[in-house]
């Protein structure tokens, strides 16, 4: 059909998807109070986890004190327009890292460090700033764009994806978390916090939130990776110019988000049993990578995602999880795989090549075959 024939459809779609916006400036003191009161929500479910370190946050505060322009904050207006301003609720579409850094400084969470210009303020907390700088900082305004997405909730997720595609690139699952939200994604986030799983992927128990895997949602992606490769589905991945492994994971997440509750429960039970079984028999370094040289095994890393693929998918494919039976011989046989050059190559270099995925998983399956 010609463009002319599609004009009615085009006009309807454009009207439905048009974003209503309003520009506004908030001073920092007002912004912080709105966040503290819950009027502005910093962590909607599609947002990334806070990733800035204190040096990055400090440089933002320095820019604000010096009145250096910073990017616009995008807020989603999430309530009926009839609600009064003080009762309004907003969620952050873009600017979470900046707002979190501002809030934490105002609340005294960190001291300024590694400043480029105002080095006299090194080590100063918010309360330590001289009165004239406190006033300057509190009265400094930031431009915000309020977006009314109440007509179509999908709009704010579309905006989130578009804004971040040209800025600091989101990690794969950060973007996936924004676009493919749903019950299975929520399950993956929950399972990523499992104590045994965190031990196995080398996330410290004492401060997990500051671990890079957690900040970048790599832990959640690893959970999804397990579910995407199991049940022989690893054979269906075909890397091409138009399809990468990240796309394979996204497609699987989109499908699994529609699973019924009973299947979600079964998936959760399966993952937990496999992880418990691995830690019980293989220890906390179960996913370590080894090289066999000069007659002995040399550990090359404490965690390797390709080894994780092989061991976890190998076990879920071949071991009866109800009987939970893995022999000492099988534990030794899995480590012996590192003597094989083909297996070692499959967990090295470009580990997301489809041939390498098949090689390492099927080698592990032979070890645990019933």
28 alpha-carbon distance from chain centroid: 28
The residue among 169 and 67 whose pLDDT is bigger is: 67
First to last CA, the chain: 57
Q: How confident is the model at residue 195 (pLDDT cuts 50, 70, 90)?
A: very high
Confidence of residue 24 (pLDDT cuts 50, 70, 90): confident
Dihedral angle of Cα 95, 96, 98, 100, to the nearest 10 degrees? 160
Mean pLDDT lowest for which of 173-187, 220-234, 272-286? Answer: 173-187
- Which pLDDT belongs to residue 80? 41
Whether 162 has a pLDDT exceeding 70, the answer reads no
Percent of the chain predicted with pLDDT > 90: 56
Q: Average pLDDT over the chain, rounded to whole?
A: 85
The span from the CA of 23 to the CA of 166, in Å, is: 21
Are 62 and 129 in contact by the 8 Å Cβ rule? The answer is no
The model's pLDDT over 209-227, given as tens digits with 9 standing for 90+, comes to 888 888 888 999 999 999 9
HEC profile of 88-132: CCEEEEECHHHHHHHHHHHCCCCCCCCCCCCHHHCCCCHHHCCHH
| Average confidence (pLDDT) over 164-184 | 65
Q: Is pLDDT of 323 > 70?
A: yes
Query: Among candidates 315, 321, 316, 324, which has minimal Cα distance to 368?
Result: 315
- Which of helix, strand or coil describes residue 156? helix
Do residues 109 and 55 make contact, with C-beta atoms less than 8 angstroms apart?
no
Each domain of the chain, given as residue ranges in start order, spans 16-169, 175-368
pLDDT at 41: 82
**More confident call, 247 vs 162:** 247
Is residue 169 over pLDDT 80?
A: no
Q: Is the pLDDT of residue 148 over 50?
A: yes
DSSP state of 337: G
Asked whether residue 259 carries a pLDDT value surpassing 60, the answer given is yes
pLDDT tens string 118-147: 889 999 999 999 999 999 999 999 998 887
Three-state secondary structure call for residue 289? strand
Query: Which value, to the nearest 10 degrees, does the dihedral of the CA atoms of residues 51, 57, 60, 65 take?
Result: 160
């Amino acid at each position: 059909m010609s463009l002319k024939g599609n004009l009615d459809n085009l006009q309807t779609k454009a009207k439905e998807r048009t974003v209503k916006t309003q520009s506004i400036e908030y001073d920092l003191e007002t912004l912080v109070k709105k966040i503290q009161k819950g009027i502005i929500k910093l962590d909607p479910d599609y947002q990334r986890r806070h990733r800035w370190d204190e040096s990055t946050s400090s440089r933002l505060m320095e820019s604000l004190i010096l009145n250096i322009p910073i990017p616009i904050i995008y807020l989603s207006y999430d309530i009926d327009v009839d609600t009064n301003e003080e009762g309004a609720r907003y969620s952050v579409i873009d600017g979470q890292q900046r707002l979190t850094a501002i809030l934490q400084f105002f609340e005294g969470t960190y001291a300024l460090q590694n400043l480029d210009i105002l080095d006299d303020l090194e080590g100063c907390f918010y309360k330590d700033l001289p009165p004239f700088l406190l006033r300057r900082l509190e009265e400094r305004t930031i431009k915000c764009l309020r977006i009314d997405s109440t007509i179509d909730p999908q709009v704010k997720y579309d905006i989130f994806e578009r804004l971040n595609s040209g800025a600091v690139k989101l990690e794969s699952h950060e973007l996936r978390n924004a676009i493919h939200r749903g019950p299975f994604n929520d399950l993956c986030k929950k399972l990523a916090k499992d104590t045994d799983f965190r031990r196995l992927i080398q996330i410290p128990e004492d401060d997990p939130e500051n671990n890079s895997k957690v900040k970048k949602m790599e832990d959640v992606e690893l959970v999804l990776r397990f579910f995407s490769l199991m049940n022989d589905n690893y054979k269906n991945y075909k890397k091409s110019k138009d399809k990468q492994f990240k796309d394979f994971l996204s497609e699987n997440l989109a499908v699994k988000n529609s699973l019924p509750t009973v299947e979600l429960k079964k998936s959760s039970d399966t993952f937990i049993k496999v992880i418990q079984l691995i830690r019980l028999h293989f220890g906390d370094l179960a996913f370590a990578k080894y090289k066999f040289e000069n007659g002995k095994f040399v550990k090359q890393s404490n965690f390797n995602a390709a080894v994780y693929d092989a061991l976890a998918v190998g076990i879920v494919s071949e071991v009866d999880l109800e009987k939970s039976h893995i022999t000492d011989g099988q534990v030794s046989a899995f480590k012996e795989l590192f003597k094989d050059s083909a297996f070692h190559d499959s967990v090295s270099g470009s580990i997301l090549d489809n041939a390498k995925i098949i090689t390492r998983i099927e080698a592990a399956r032979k070890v645990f075959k019933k």
